């Protein structure tokens, strides 16, 4: 293998800083401006992975999903549309962090040796990207990485993440008995359309669906898909479809926003009886929602989609009478710790479906779902799908692809219809990966066949009140989650604090885990009542923020010419400072916090601290600071600058502004 070109191109894609990239649950994901060297290296890794698999086609998807538009990322796709195999994630991390050409070449040689790769084998790679402006430049870096090791690469341009997974699976099965579909974007639309129309043909069409497309690539894809299906079978209205304005991507809209904020997206006015759903930025997540007649917002998340799917498929399998070697089909539901406790209880006790928990991340759920004849997996955030095993598919059809009735006791019309619908569902649902558009049609098909409203669907069980909060910390890597993310092994004191808090509330649970995609920890809580849940969430959130917090300040308008402070990474209280807010000492762990930078003008020394908030929120119109005492030596000259922060560690200009004092 000739590495001359690697030396040359590495100068163009030199890694200039010591940032440690880790290939996580969603591949690499961070600020796009830092990623060109990473994309170049991942192009080379995709080349090696293809050679390892005897020239199978490997995919590269450039996206940051639900993240804001300045971010981007890359994840590699296996031949059948799966996530990159676990054992190669370490290689991805090593290559991404190779600082020099020599180190990079050394890692490549190590992979070739350890994996026994035939370097004479041809490498075949495909790549696509979402609508982020940074995607084009990153795609160029990835393509150069594939080509520098003499691989073949095809750029499919702008696609949803599930479309790229679909294409990879189609390309790798085109000449096999497990042919998945036409390996084109149009082929994707046609496959979903044909299956959906077969299922709903002759049924009464339900009311229109209002879709929040997160101002992302899903808007483009859904527009094309709905035209192929036709309005006689499916009506939808697309909101938040401004893909030409990248700054609007996922901004106050999209599945992640709706799920976390428990409210409708901006850009879509929701009225009672409207059926609504939200996609995320790359269209691999979906959640449904509506407002009831009392104008109360109601969310139907991934848990609701999973249990709806299980409820319907159990009944459909029973009606079809299909069996595998004389036995009933095994259906299972895979969840994560984020699944609402009521959803799990409904699945196990009412539906009698076995439920298995895995670590967070669809790659874990997908792997577990493969163990069933029909494996249903959804994260609460709306990312998931339904997998049909090869044995199940064979039970539906014979070797010629015709309907297979050998396992059906009597060939009555209702059984034949049920089997035909079951076959169509296996074609409608994306078998490669969670797909918002495919999942949307899954839900629409079930609701059409059963003539079920969103309110009726929602009434199957009542979610326990729950909250998800993100807290910035100085080092998320010190948080070690165990038992499918439900507990922390480290720091032990955090888990002890959580356990003591949970004891105080009914049907309560809470867990903390480091994010795989952001520099934060995620805190999930649920309890029997909303007030109890809010108290639990607040207590754990404040504890972590105060013990491990990393608060970054924002610029504020200042009337006194104070210099903008851009960053604070310490939460060690400055012992020589006392500040009163409306005459009360800021010393408790409630409501607001004050960020303080103190500058000793005599020595030039600066110290930074956080002082905990007062028990009440005071209006900025009140006297903001009427008592202060700075420093142990009253004769020294000091400057003090303050800014206000809310309970979650976010700067809030409504609570105050920066003040600058000299002493």
Contact between 373 and 320 under an 8 Å Cβ cutoff? The reply is: no
Known binding residue 434? Answer is no
Buried b (16+ CB within 10 A) or exposed e, 503-526: eebebbbbbbbbbbbebbbbbbbb
Q: 10 Å Cβ neighbour count for 572?
A: 9
Spatial distance between the Cα atoms of 443 and 278, rounded to a whole number of angstroms: 13
β partners of residue 599: 606, 639
Q: Rounded to the nearest 5°, which phi and psi values hold at 342? A: -70, -35
Known binding residue 160? Answer is no
Tokens 């909303």 belong to 530
Q: 3-state DSSP call for residue 481? A: strand
Spatial distance between the Cα atoms of 379 and 94, rounded to a whole number of angstroms: 29
Catalytic residue, chosen from 5, 18, 33, 65, is 65
Spatial distance between the Cα atoms of 592 and 650, rounded to a whole number of angstroms: 10
Contact between 463 and 342 under an 8 Å Cβ cutoff? The reply is: yes
3-state helix, strand, coil in the chain (%, to 5): 35, 20, 45
What Å distances lie between residue 22 and 31, 71, 160, 454, CA to CA?
A: 14, 15, 24, 40
Task: Please provide the DSSP assignment of 90-156 as one string.
Answer: HHHHHHHT--SHHHHHHHHHHHHHHTT--TTSPPEEEEEE-S-TTHHHHHHHHHHHHHHTT-EEEEE
Spatial distance between the Cα atoms of 345 and 507, rounded to a whole number of angstroms: 12
Known binding residue 280? Answer is yes
Spatial distance between the Cα atoms of 548 and 571, rounded to a whole number of angstroms: 8
Known binding residue 587? Answer is no
Residue 356, preceding peptide bond in cis (omega within 30° of 0): no
Known binding residue 515? Answer is yes
Beta-carbon contacts of 92 under 8 Å, excluding residues fewer than 6 positions away, are 23, 27, 28, 42, 45, 76, 84
Known binding residue 550? Answer is no
Structure tokens that stand for 428 in this block? 């409608």
Known binding residue 282? Answer is yes
Q: 10 Å Cβ neighbour count for 4?
A: 8
224: buried, middle or exposed (CB in 10 Å: 19+, 13-18, 0-12)? middle
Minimal CA–CA distance to 511: which of 503, 520, 499? 499
Biggest CA pair distance of the chain: 98
Q: 10 Å Cβ neighbour count for 235?
A: 16
Q: 3-state DSSP call for residue 12? A: helix
Minimal CA–CA distance to 260: which of 468, 521, 529, 519? 468
Buried b (16+ CB within 10 A) or exposed e, 593-604: bbbbbbbbeeee
Known binding residue 284? Answer is yes
Contact between 645 and 652 under an 8 Å Cβ cutoff? The reply is: yes
Contact between 358 and 321 under an 8 Å Cβ cutoff? The reply is: no
Known binding residue 513? Answer is yes
Catalytic residue list contains 65: yes
Structure tokens that stand for 354 in this block? 């076995």
Report the binding-site residues for substrate.
379-381, 513-517, 522
Report the binding-site residues for Mg(2+).
65, 280, 282, 284
Report the binding-site residues.
65, 280, 282, 284, 379-381, 513-517, 522
Question: Catalytic residue positions?
Answer: 65
């Amino acid at each position: 293998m000739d590495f001359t070109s690697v030396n040359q191109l590495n100068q163009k894609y030199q890694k200039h800083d010591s940032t440690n990239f880790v290939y996580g649950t969603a591949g690499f994901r961070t600020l796009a401006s830092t990623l060109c060297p990473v994309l170049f290296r991942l192009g080379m890794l995709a080349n090696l992975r293809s050679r390892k698999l005897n020239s199978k086609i490997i995919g590269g998807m450039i996206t940051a999903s639900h993240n804001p538009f300045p971010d981007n990322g890359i994840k590699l796709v296996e031949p059948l549309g799966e996530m990159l195999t676990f054992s190669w994630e370490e290689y991805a991390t090593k290559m991404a962090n190779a600082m020099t050409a020599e180190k990079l070449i050394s890692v490549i040689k190590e992979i070739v040796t350890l994996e026994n790769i035939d370097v004479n084998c041809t490498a075949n790679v495909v790549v696509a990207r979402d609508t982020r402006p940074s995607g084009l430049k990153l795609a160029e870096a990835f393509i150069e990485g594939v080509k520098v090791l003499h691989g073949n690469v095809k750029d499919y341009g702008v696609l949803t993440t599930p479309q790229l997974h679909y294409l990879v699976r189609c390309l790798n099965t085109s000449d096999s008995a497990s042919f998945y579909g036409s390996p084109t974007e149009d082929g994707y639309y046609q496959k979903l359309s044909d299956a959906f129309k077969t299922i709903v043909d002759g049924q009464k069409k339900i009311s229109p669906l209002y879709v929040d497309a997160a101002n992302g690539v899903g808007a483009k894809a859904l527009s094309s898909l709905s035209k192929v299906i036709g309005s006689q079978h499916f009506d939808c209205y697309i909101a938040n479809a401004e893909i030409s304005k990248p700054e609007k991507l996922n901004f106050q809209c999209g599945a992640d926003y709706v799920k976390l904020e428990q409210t409708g997206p901006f850009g879509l006015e929701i009225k009672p009886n409207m059926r609504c759903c939200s996609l995320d930025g790359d269209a691999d997540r979906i959640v449904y929602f509506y407002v009831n007649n009392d104008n109360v917002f109601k969310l139907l998340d991934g848990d609701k989609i999973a249990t709806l799917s299980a409820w319907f498929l159990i009944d459909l399998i029973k009606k079809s009478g299909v069996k595998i070697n004389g036995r009933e089909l095994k259906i299972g539901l895979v969840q994560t710790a984020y699944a609402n406790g009521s959803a799990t209880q409904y699945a196990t006790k009412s539906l009698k479906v076995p439920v298995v928990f895995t670590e967070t991340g669809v790659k874990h759920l997908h792997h577990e779902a493969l163990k069933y004849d029909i494996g249903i997996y959804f994260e609460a955030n709306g990312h998931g799908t339904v997998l049909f095993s090869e044995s199940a598919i064979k039970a539906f059809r014979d070797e010629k692809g015709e309907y297979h009735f050998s396992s059906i006791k009597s060939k009555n019309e209702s059984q034949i219809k049920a089997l035909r619908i079951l076959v169509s569902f296996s074609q409608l649902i994306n078998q490669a990966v969670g797909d918002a558009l495919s999942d949307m049609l899954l839900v629409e098909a079930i609701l059409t066949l059963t003539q079920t409203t969103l309110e009726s669907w929602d009434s199957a069980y009542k979610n326990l009140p729950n909250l998800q909060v993100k807290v910035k910390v100085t080092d998320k890597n010190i948080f070690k989650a165990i038992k499918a993310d439900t507990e922390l092994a480290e720091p032990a004191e955090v888990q002890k604090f959580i356990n003591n808090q949970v004891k105080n509330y009914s049907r309560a649970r809470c867990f903390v885990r480091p994010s795989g995609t952001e520099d934060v920890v995620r805190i999930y809580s649920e309890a029997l009542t909303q007030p109890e849940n809010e108290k639990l969430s607040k207590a754990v959130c404040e504890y972590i923020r105060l013990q491990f917090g990393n608060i970054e300040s924002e610029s504020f308008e200042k009337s006194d010419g104070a210099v903008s402070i851009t960053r604070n990474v310490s939460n060690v209280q400055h012992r020589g400072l006392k500040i009163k807010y409306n005459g009360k000492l800021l010393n408790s762990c409630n409501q607001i916090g004050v960020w303080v930078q103190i500058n000793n003008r005599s020595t030039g020394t600066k110290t930074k601290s956080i002082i905990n908030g007062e028990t009440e929120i005071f209006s900025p119109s009140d006297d903001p600071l009427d008592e202060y005492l700075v420093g142990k030596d009253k004769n020294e000259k000091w400057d003090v600058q303050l800014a206000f922060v809310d309970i979650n560690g976010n700067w809030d200009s409504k609570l105050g502004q920066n003040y600058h004092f000299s002493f």
